[in-house]
Amino acid sequence: MDFAAITLWFLLEKLILIAAIIGLSFFVAMYTTLAERKVAGWMQDRMGPNRAGPFGILQPLADGGKLFFKEEIIPVTSNRILFLLGPALAMIVALVTSTVIPWGAPVVTTTGTIALQVTDVDMGILIVFSVVSVGVYGIMIGGWASNNKFSLLAAIRGASQMVSYELPMSLALIAILFMTGSLKMSEIVLYQINHGWNIVYQPLGFLLFFICALAECNRTPFDLPEAENELNFGYHQEYSSMKLGFYLFAEYINMFVSSAVMATLFLGGYDIPFVNEAAWGLSPWVYSLLSFGVLMAKVSFLLFVFIWIRWTIPRFRYDQLMNLGWKKMIPLALFNMLLSAAILLWLKS
Amino acid sequence: MQLTQRSKSVDRSPMTFLESLYLWNIMKGMAITLRHLFKKKATIQYPEEKRPFSPIFRGLHVLNRDAEGRENCTACGLCAVACPAEAITMEAAERLPGEENLYREEKYAAKYEINMLRCIFCGLCEEACPKDAIYLSQTFAPANYGRKGFIYGKNELLIPHPINEREAYLKALGDRTPSARIQNQPNA
C-alpha cells in the first residue's frame, strides 16, 4: 500500500466505517440472541420472550444488563492474566474477521470512491481464515486458565474440532478460488455479479462450507466444547458476569461474520439476484444502501438457518464428529475440488 | 417371541455413505421444525388473557352479603366443621345496637380466615352453609411472596357492597351463587 495516500480524510472514513461495522456486529449479535430464543420458542410451540418491550425487543438489553450486574468470580486457582485474556481474545478475533467483507456496493461520487469495506487486501479471504484460526485460542486459553478439568477437556475438544473442520472448509474454498481467480473479497463479489452466484456452480462446496462454518462457530450439532450434559458448559464454566457474556456474545458475532462471509463467497455478496441494479440509475448512496440491505437479508437468512439447525438436531457424539470431519467431509471436499478443477480445465481447453 | 402385531424389527445394517452424512435425515427433521414454526401456539398470555373455566369450577371463596349489603355469615362454624383440610378459622361476636345495617343476624363473624394453602377447594363449606354466606367463585388465588399472604381474612373474602359498589359486587358475584347454580341444573 502507498503510505503517501493516507490522508486525514482517508483515516476518518475508515474510522467511521470501523465504528459502524463494530456497532453493526454488536447490534446484529444482540438481536440474534433474541431471534434464537424466539425461533426456539416457535419451533417448540411456545411464544418465546415477549415481556420486555413489544414482542420482547428489549430482551437483549435486559439480558446484557443482567450480565453486567452479576457477581464476578475469578477462581483463586486460575491463571489470572490468561483468565482475563481468554474472553478478550475471543471477542477481538470475532470482531476483526469482519474487516475484509464488502458490506455494500462502493459509493462512487464525483470526488472519489468510498468502499464499504474496511480494507480490500489482496489476500482477503485468507485474512478471514487466519484470524478465525486464532479464534480457537480464546477457547483454549479460557479453558486452560480456568484450571478446571471440564474446561480443559472442552478446550481440547474445541481445538481439535476447529482444526479438523478448517481443512474441509479451506478445501471447499479452493474450488471457489479456481473459478474467481482472486482472493480479493471485492473481486469475488464482482465475479458473481458478472457470472452468477457461486452456489449455483458449487452446491456441494457451499454445503461443505456451511457445515464447517457450523463447526467453527461451535454451533449445534457441533457444540462439543460447551456440551452441557457431559462438560458442564465446557470452557466457560468458571466464567461469570460479563466475561461469560463476552464468550457468548463472541459466538453470536462469529455467527454473524461467518454468515456474511458465506453470503459473500457463495450467495453473491451484495448482489441483487435476477436484475441488473447498476442500470437503474439510482443515486450512488441509495444504490449502496440498497445493496447493503440485500447483503443483510442474505445474512439474516443464513443466521435463521443456523438457528433452525440448532433447534432441530441434537449434538453429535465426539467420535461421530471426528468421523464426519475426517472420513466424510475431507474426501468430499477433495472430490469437489478435483471435479471443479477438471471441469474448469476442460472448459478452458 | 412376538407379542403384538405391531412390532418392527430394527435395521442394524451399517450405514451407507449417504446415510452416514446424515443429510437426508437432518433435512426431514428440519421440515418438521419448520412446520412447528408456523403452528398456532397453545400459550395463554396469563395476566392479560385468562383461561376459560368450566361452569362448575371451584375457585376462591366469597363471603356473601344480602341484597341490602348486610353480611350473611352468623359465625355458626358449620363450614369450619365441614372443612376436611381445616383451613377455616373464625371468631364470633355479638351484633351491637346500631349495627343492624352491617350484619343480618344477632351474631356475626368478627374474624373469618381461610388459609388458601391448606384449602383444597372441595366446596364442602359452601354445601354446609345454612345461610348462603360462603360460596366458591371463579377466580383463583394469585401468587404471593410469603405464606402469610395466603391467609385470607374478611378484607379479601367479603364481597363488595351490593348498593355502594354495584359493579364490583356483580363482578365478584359471577353466576355461581348457590341459587344461580341450582337454576343452572337441568333437573331443577
Mean pLDDT split into 10-residue runs, chain B, 188 residues: 80 81 86 89 83 82 85 90 92 89 88 91 90 84 85 87 79 64 49
Mean pLDDT of chain A: 85
Query: Which residue in the block uniquely carries the three cell numbers 479471504?
Result: A125
Closest CA to A313 of A193, A182, A221, A230: A221
CB A152 within 8 A of CB A314: no
Q: Who has greater pLDDT, A30 or B175?
A: A30
CB–CB of A47 and B32 under 8 A? Answer: no
| pLDDT greater than 50 at residue A249 | yes
Cα angle for residues A86, A88, A90 (degrees, 5° grid)? 70
What's the average model confidence in pLDDT over A231-244?
A: 80
Distance CA A169, CA A333 (A): 8
Q: Is A130 on the interface with B (CB under 8 A)?
A: no
Cα–Cα distance list, A331 to A169, A216, B24 (Å)? 12, 19, 19
Q: Identify all chain A residues contacting B41, using CB atoms and an 8 Å cutoff.
A: 42, 45-47
CB–CB of A43 and B30 under 8 A? Answer: no
Q: Identify all chain B residues contacting A39, using CB atoms and an 8 Å cutoff.
A: 37
What's the average model confidence in pLDDT over A203-230?
A: 83
Per domain, the residue ranges of chain A are 68-348
* B33-69 pLDDT, tens digit each: 999 888 888 888 887 888 888 878 888 888 888 888 8
Distance CA A324, CA A313 (A): 15
Cα angle for residues B8, B13, B17 (degrees, 5° grid)? 125
What's the average model confidence in pLDDT over A273-287?
A: 75
The CATH number of the domain covering residues in B61-184: 3.30.70.3270
What's the average model confidence in pLDDT over A107-134?
A: 80
Distance CA A295, CA A315 (A): 30
Q: Identify all chain A residues contacting B29, using CB atoms and an 8 Å cutoff.
A: 312-313
Q: What is the pLDDT of residue B188?
A: 39
Q: Identify all chain A residues contacting B34, using CB atoms and an 8 Å cutoff.
A: 308
Non-local (6+) Cβ contacts of A11 within 8 A are: none
> Can you tell me whether residue A328 is helix, strand or coil?
helix
Q: What is the pLDDT of residue B83?
A: 92
Neighbours of B178 (CB within 10 A): 15
Distance CA A35, CA A63 (A): 13
Q: At A17, phi and psi to the nearest 5?
A: -65, -45
CB–CB of A42 and B36 under 8 A? Answer: yes
Q: At A284, phi and psi to the nearest 5?
A: -55, -40
Q: Identify all chain B residues contacting A207, using CB atoms and an 8 Å cutoff.
A: 23
Spacing of C-alpha B53 from chain mean position: 8
* A134-168 pLDDT, tens digit each: 888 888 888 888 888 888 888 888 888 888 888 89
- Closest residue in A to B18 (Cα–Cα): A328
- Closest residue in B to A50 (Cα–Cα): B45
Non-local (6+) Cβ contacts of A290 within 8 A are: A272, A277, A282
- Closest residue in A to B38 (Cα–Cα): A42
The partner residues of A48 in beta bridges, in order of sequence, read: none
Interface of A with B in 294-333 (CB under 8 A): 308-309, 311-313, 323-324, 328
Closest CA to B108 of B85, B141, B83, B131: B131
Q: What is the pLDDT of residue A346?
A: 92
Per domain, the residue ranges of chain B are 61-184
Least-confidence region, from A4-8, A184-188, B40-44, B61-65: A4-8
Q: What is the pLDDT of residue A1?
A: 53
- For the stretch B8-12, contacts whose Cβ atoms lie closer than 8 Å and that sit 24 or more positions apart, written own/partner, are none
* A293-323 pLDDT, tens digit each: 888 999 999 999 999 998 998 888 888 888 8
